[in-house]
Amino acid sequence: MFASCFSPSSSALLSFGSRLKCGTNNETSQRFVRSVDKVMGALSKLIAAQGWGTFSDVDPPFTVFGLGQCYQHVNGKGCKLCFNTAREELRRCVPATSGRIFLDWCFQRFDNYMFYNEGVDAKYDHLICGSPAGVYQQDFQRELDQVIRKVTNTALENNGYAAKAAKGGVTTVYALAQCWRAIDQETCSECLRHAASGLRKCAPGAEGKAMFSGCYMRYSTHRFFGPEAETEDNKGFSPWVIIGLASAGVACAVLGAIGTYISYKRFSKKKGLDDIPATRNNTSLNYMYGTLEKATDHFDESRKLGQGGAGTVFKGILPDGKVVAVKRLFFNTRQWVDQFFNEVNLISGIQHKNLVSLLGCSIEGPESLLVYEYVPNRSLDQILFVKNTINILSWSHRFNIICGTAEGLAYLHGGSGVKIIHRDIKSSNILLDENLNPKIADFGLACCVASDKSHVSTAIAGTLGYMAPEYLVRGQLTEKADVYAFGVLMLEIATGRKNNVFSERSSSTLYLVWKQYKAESITQAIDSTLKGRFDEREASIVLRVGLLCTQSSVALRPTMSEVAQTLTDRRCVIPSPKQPPFLNASVLSPEDTMTSSFMGSSALNDPRTQKPGT
């Protein structure tokens, strides 16, 4: 599981640059102390099994979130030794409500809020520079720049890890970069960029370490990792690039068909553009690169609409005056043009009023381009979470957005004839047209599932706060993962609160809605900026269905078609949630099945499934 390398002693781990940082707030309750111990114990098991892990213990008012990871070049024995040392040292922070420790082989942190996707934190990020190397500074700076640039670029193509050496005429500089497995590629890129900038300032120091919230970067004139730990330049697609491809909205069947990097390789043999059949060039799906370049004013910054993990989106005006959105991918697909084009053809055939349409692509230029329907308004998050008196969404608009998104997602799950799992339903992926009608964008991390498959096992990809427990913990993917994310989205729209933003003084949106539900005052959770101007029945339906969608058990969640029907058909009787929303991985049971009992005859008619007074 871990590459073989040096196995350090416990004392060696507490060497140059080791850093323990404890928070300034204290909590002396024994319940809190027990939660910290529980999280650390769970992390120990995860580290032993897979080299990294996250775990949370949520028992309001006390919440503890933990993360631990060994650096990828460390072997199993060294990882275990390092983590045990880190755990012992980090335990000294208690009763502080937070703490983090960097050692030469691993990292561990606990805090009382969800921090898993943090990249940089000016308050706690730390840079350490060693003594001068005693070499000509200009030559050393050149070698340092070279190796830092290499590990930064390679790590982004290699699932967040790289180890390199720059061999110059004066000396050899070794460097290593490691992002935490819990963060996404965009956060990893941000963290590595800041770390690299800081380490360059360490020259002519013989060693430097950047210890940041989301990553670790180190260089030295002495080898500190084994030769076998060095990473080669990535000639294929990394897991993140495959995810990025999916984010472009065209790799649905690629991910469903290949599943793994190995099976993908049969498409990696380079093909010339001369091999593209004439029929493909003549189709309306194929756009000339020059046409799109001119349409976007040569990708001028003033035309930029946004940027994601797979590419940058620009507003384009075609020669016939049609306005489109052009996504400029960060990678080129010319070496597998047939497969790329086939997927564009597949996705472009999926049409629904609540889905952003993919119009075509260009594969002939220096980078690949995707052409989408242009949606003039902003994404939902830019309106919903900006608190001012002008852009407050009325309840009728919110309810319309919820219903429209449910219909679009139900169509993806089966209405198009192909079951498509979006995998990244969230507020920023819901675009609003001029009438504030919703359109699901970025088919994202979309994945096709054969009709005879109950689930697929896959590397997790998505956004923390929206990911279903069985997917987050076990990588088990069904359409019920989208149902969970949609449930979170429903509760966010109704309450006006983000779920994936945690602070030391607040609870998650899901927990607050559940608390109001148990107190039989569920509509008290509705966004206060509406000042009571909302339909009580609709609000109750939205909040209760949101809780049903976010239950830990897959079997207890409804399907999206059932959700869409319940929202629009007032005759439907809504069953009571049997579980609180997912807050802790420890509540998962291995017996969870893949079938839904929502809206069955017993649920519709049995008064025992209904909450009193409804």
How confident is the chain (614 residues) per 10-residue block, as mean pLDDT?
40 57 92 92 90 84 90 89 92 95 94 89 90 73 91 91 83 93 89 94 91 95 87 51 38 33 34 42 73 94 77 90 87 53 66 88 81 87 75 91 96 79 88 92 55 45 79 81 96 90 60 93 95 95 96 92 91 85 49 40 31 35
On whether both 201 and 244 belong to a single domain, the answer is: no
On whether both 479 and 565 belong to a single domain, the answer is: yes
Residue 4 falls inside a structural domain: no
The CATH number of whichever domain residue 134 belongs to comes to: 3.30.430.20
Mark which of 181, 203, 229 sits at the end of a domain. Answer: 229
Active site residue 59: no
* Spatial contact of 194 and 125, defined as CB atoms under 8 Å apart: yes
Q: What is the pLDDT of residue 2?
A: 35
- Measured CA to CA in angstroms, residue 175 lies from 100, 172, 219, 225, 229 at distances of 23, 10, 4, 9, 11
* Residues 6 or more apart whose Cβ sits within 8 Å of residue 505: none
307 vs 323: CA distance, rounded Å: 18
Residue 404 falls inside a structural domain: yes
Residue 441 falls inside a structural domain: no
Residue 57's domain comprises 10-111
On whether both 15 and 40 belong to a single domain, the answer is: yes
Residue 51 phi/psi, 5-degree rounding, is: 85, -5
Residue 202 falls inside a structural domain: yes
464 vs 188: CA distance, rounded Å: 14
- Active-site residue, from 104, 125, 424, 482: 424
On whether both 98 and 243 belong to a single domain, the answer is: no
On whether both 461 and 538 belong to a single domain, the answer is: yes
On whether both 225 and 254 belong to a single domain, the answer is: no
Mark which of 71, 86, 111 sits at the end of a domain. Answer: 111
Q: What is the pLDDT of residue 602?
A: 30
Residue 2 falls inside a structural domain: no
On whether both 254 and 196 belong to a single domain, the answer is: no
The CATH number of whichever domain residue 321 belongs to comes to: 3.30.200.20
Residue 234 falls inside a structural domain: no
On whether both 457 and 601 belong to a single domain, the answer is: yes
DSSP H or E stretch at residue 67: strand 62-70
Domain count, the chain: 4
Q: What is the pLDDT of residue 567?
A: 94
On whether both 194 and 59 belong to a single domain, the answer is: no
Q: What is the pLDDT of residue 484?
A: 96
CA proximity to 533, closest of 429, 426, 331, 397: 397
On whether both 202 and 284 belong to a single domain, the answer is: no
Q: Rounded to 5 degrees, what angle do the CA atoms 489, 493, 499 make?
A: 55
The CATH number of whichever domain residue 481 belongs to comes to: 1.10.510.10
On whether both 213 and 96 belong to a single domain, the answer is: no
Residue 422 falls inside a structural domain: no
On whether both 64 and 162 belong to a single domain, the answer is: no
* Spatial contact of 164 and 220, defined as CB atoms under 8 Å apart: no
Q: What is the pLDDT of residue 507?
A: 65
Q: What is the pLDDT of residue 612?
A: 33
Mark which of 84, 111, 138 sits at the end of a domain. Answer: 111
Residue 1 falls inside a structural domain: no
